[in-house]
Amino acid sequence: MATVLIIGRPNVGKSTLFNRLVGGRKAIVDDIPGVTRDFTVGRVNWQQKTFQLVDTCGLFENPENIVEEKMKEVTLELLGEGDLLIFLVDGRQGVTSADIELSDYLRRQKKEIVFVANKVESEGAFYTAANDIYALGFGDPIKISAAHGLNIDGLIDEIFERL
Ligand code: GDP
Ligand code: MG
């Protein structure tokens, strides 16, 4: 089964998107007693097709040195296993240094990336952040609102097209 990783700095909405895509299935993989891990795995089923989705949670969240911490074995292993990365940014609050650092890191991975701006409940909300988001160098993001369920179908279609 194909594996898709959600990657982004803290607070961009990774877990909200994960829950939106995986829905009720999350509890099954989350509630394993005695198992501690820094990421969450679920399954997305869509029109007879399926993929495994990973919320990378805290793995990419070290404000001190986000890149060096990422070199941890588990993280590299996880990235290696990903068939596709969802690089999630905040389309409303905009870009931070953590986004830029993550961008540089992701660019060096030879991975298929779907670039997504979350929290875009309206075009107006995206407008202020747009320039900085384009400057990250991943092109035009798919604009979604994970919390409000906007353009989730568009995102899923793109994921299956790229897998
Ligand atoms: P994570 O740290 O990347 O996992 O981000 P979370 O999923 O925990 O979300 C961080 C915050 O952003 C929470 O307060 C969410 O309610 C909020 N949030 C997530 N998605 C959206 C969205 O689509 N629109 C808006 N307006 N807020 C969102
Ligand atoms: Mg989270």
ipTM score of complex: 0.99
Q: Give the DSSP letter of residue 149.
A: T
Q: Residue 117 has which token pair? A: 């701006």
What are the pLDDT tens digits along the chain (163 aa)?
Answer: 899 999 998 889 998 999 999 986 554 444 434 444 567 888 999 889 999 998 887 666 554 555 555 555 666 677 778 999 999 999 999 999 989 988 998 898 889 999 999 999 998 989 999 999 999 999 999 999 999 999 999 999 999 999 9
Distance 9 CA to ligand 2 centre (A): 9
- Residue 117: CB within 6 Å of ligand 1? no
Domains and CATH numbers, the chain: 3-162 (3.40.50.300)
Give the ligand 1 atom nearest the CA of 57: 4
- Residue 56: CB within 6 Å of ligand 1? no
Q: Quickly tell me which residue has 């909200």 as its tokens.
A: 16
Give the ligand 1 atom nearest the CA of 12: 3
**pTM here?**
0.88
Give CA separation, 159 vs 4, 46, 65, 66, in Å. Answer: 8, 11, 30, 26
